[in-house]
Amino acid sequence: MQATSRWISPPLYMQVLIAVAGGALLGALFGREPYLGGLRNEQLGTVGLLVVSLLKTLAIPLIFFAILDALIRTSIPLRQGGKLLLICLVNVSVAMAIGLLLMNTWQPGLAWYGHVDELLHFVPGAKPSAAALANVQAGARSPIEYLASYIPRTILEPFSSNNIIGVVLLALALGAILRYAHGASGQAGGIIAVVVRGVERIYAWLVRLLEWIILAVPLAVFGVVAQVVGKSGVGVFSVLWIFLAAMLAGLAVHALLYYPLVAWLAGKKPPKVYLGQGADAIMTALSCNSSLATVPVTLRCLERMNVSPQSSRLAACVGTNLNNDGITLYEAMAALFLAQALGFDLPMASQVLIVLASIIAGAGVAGIPEAGLIVLPLVLSAAGLPDQVILAAIPLIMTVDWIIARARSGVNVMSDMLVAILLDAGRVPPETVPVSRTSR
């Protein structure tokens, strides 16, 4: 029998690291000088920005159909579902409070001040207009007026304007209607069943298209890094550490202080049990960079903690679509970081809007490959950052995002375990239920 060899593609983070090294080498060697028949690093950078543009274009329809598909498929008991939603809302609110406190007291984005402006010079038409800056920094409107401005006026308006809040609100409304109609029709034939199957197929096609675009992400990183290093030198990487440190600090405070404390005080699981018995799931998430792929290990860890199978499955299998504290905290902090780097003095109303956009955009994206990469451009847009800044900054952020992505997955798994513990709080174990004695 003839043995056949099969090429195994390296993981995405390894491809990105190779792209960073290759792009930096090319930029350092040639700078702005032409090579290979007139090819310049600026042209490679333009190709890289096109890939990021494709990701941003795909993000809105992908999130829309992801939420529709999740609402149609998911079945949650009303009482447990309400408790699950409340726990997730409290957890993500605490995460956002930690992020806002950290970003406003430390202000790590100021370390990038001036460096992002340098990046804007090599992107055509990148300088934001005075009107755009005024719109970002406008503090005259109240939070209610800010929120009202994101409510869609027509069904198609959120899609044309990349209004992530409006898209999610529309998806939730249509998803609820479809779910009700699908259940009322007995899930049999008819127009509703055709629409449901259409939603499932479109979502599957969009995920497949996303997987194809992700294959080109290393090329985007290679091109943009070559262009940046060719213009500014390898010293541009010296400022990336502060971004990495800020993101990891926010995730660490939330995961290593808040989660164990709540598990201990409200769930009666001391840190020795929560962190010790859950270590396998946390390390698996850090290794494979996926909270969904970690679900079987998460369930085993919760079983060792004596959490009921019902609560475990609800939190780890169903609730994982809502337990995206890692993604939402990262998106909000990254948006505020870049706003500080550009010198935008964002009022609290704008910061709350960014937080709200992060929470809403993070809902229902657990099953999307590289969900953080998809959501980030939309949250940055909600922050009011110019498109040119978003296109230029994301490839640079991706040079350290492979580290942050693993931390995000670990946080999401720790969130799943905490939610399961809290859902199970107050449950009387079967073996402790008193048995009534009756005479025969």
- For residues 333 and 103, is the Cβ–Cβ distance under 8 A? yes
| Fold observed for domain 12-424 | Proton glutamate symport protein (1.10.3860)
- The whole-angstrom separation of Cα 120 and Cα 37 is 27
How far from 132 is each of 49, 53, 153, 345, 383, CA to CA, in Å? 21, 20, 22, 13, 11
pLDDT in tens, 54-65: 877 887 888 888
The pLDDT, as a whole number, for residue 180 is 80
Domain boundaries, the chain: 12-424
- The whole-angstrom separation of Cα 248 and Cα 69 is 32
Asked whether residue 405 carries a pLDDT value surpassing 60, the answer given is yes
- The whole-angstrom separation of Cα 227 and Cα 241 is 20
- The whole-angstrom separation of Cα 151 and Cα 163 is 9
Q: Establish how many alpha carbons lie within 13 A of residue 94's alpha carbon, considering only the half-sphere containing its beta carbon.
A: 16
Asked whether residue 183 carries a pLDDT value surpassing 80, the answer given is no
- 424, burial (CB in 10 Å: exposed 0-12, middle 13-18, buried 19+): buried
The pLDDT, as a whole number, for residue 414 is 94
308 closest CA partner among 297, 295, 320, 299? 299
The pLDDT, as a whole number, for residue 269 is 94
Residue that wins the pLDDT comparison between 144 and 107? 107
- The whole-angstrom separation of Cα 95 and Cα 282 is 18
Structure tokens at 207: 């995920």
pTM value is 0.78
Asked whether residue 156 carries a pLDDT value surpassing 80, the answer given is no
Asked whether residue 37 carries a pLDDT value surpassing 50, the answer given is yes
**Percent of the chain topping pLDDT 90:** 18
319 closest CA partner among 182, 415, 200, 192? 415
- The whole-angstrom separation of Cα 151 and Cα 164 is 10
* Structure confidence at residue 419 as a pLDDT band (50, 70, 90): very high
